[in-house]
Amino acid sequence: MFYGEYEHSIDKKGRLIVPARFREIFKERYSEKFYVTRGLDRCLFLFAEDDWKQQEKKFKELPFTREEARKFNRLYFSGACEVICDVQGRILVPQYLLDYAGIQEEVMIVGVSDRVEIWSKAKWQQFFGSSIDSFETLAEKLLDDKKN
């Protein structure tokens, strides 16, 4: 599982160093391929191959007769691409994904349990700053809802 926040930068060619701890986790899971796609809140999602296949299976089950399902799947899967770490631990993030997330140079790489999120540093700081005060309220609501 992926946890923690890491500050990195992306080079002019669109290469991003995956934090060493995350590379170790990928290696432990025998995963050499990763999938990066458009995430929610204008970040990017990075999945290990097995987790990606689980996501893909779940979203394939959405009824294509529903407009929302078609729209979501189009946006989610059309943005996806397979990436592999080079010998220096970098992945190449396509420009259209960098544009989507507003990433220019400074990034935050955030572990969120079964996935890694890649944020523009400025957008992460904005999200974190506007969300941290509601952390306890969210916990109460989500955990109380789960009990019922």
Domain span holding position 27? 2-121
Kindly state whether residue 22 falls inside one of the protein's structural domains.
yes
Number of folded domains that form the chain:
1
Is residue 47 one of the residues assigned to a domain?
A: yes
Residue 113: which pLDDT band, with cuts at 50, 70 and 90? very high
In contact, 110 and 119? CB cutoff 8 Å = yes
For 108-129, give the DSSP string: EEEEEETEEEEEEHHHHHHHHH
pTM (2 d.p.):
0.91
pLDDT in tens, 64-83: 899 999 999 999 999 999 99
17-56: per-residue pLDDT in tens?
A: 999 999 888 888 767 889 999 999 999 999 998 999 999 9
Q: Count of CB atoms within 10 A of residue 103's CB?
A: 26
Whether residue 116 is contained in a domain is answered as: yes
Give the C-alpha distances (Å, rounded to integers) separating 113 from 14, 36, 78, 92.
25, 16, 24, 22
Output the domain CATH number for residue 23: 3.40.1550.20
Mean pLDDT across 99-121: 97
Q: Is residue 79 part of a domain?
A: yes
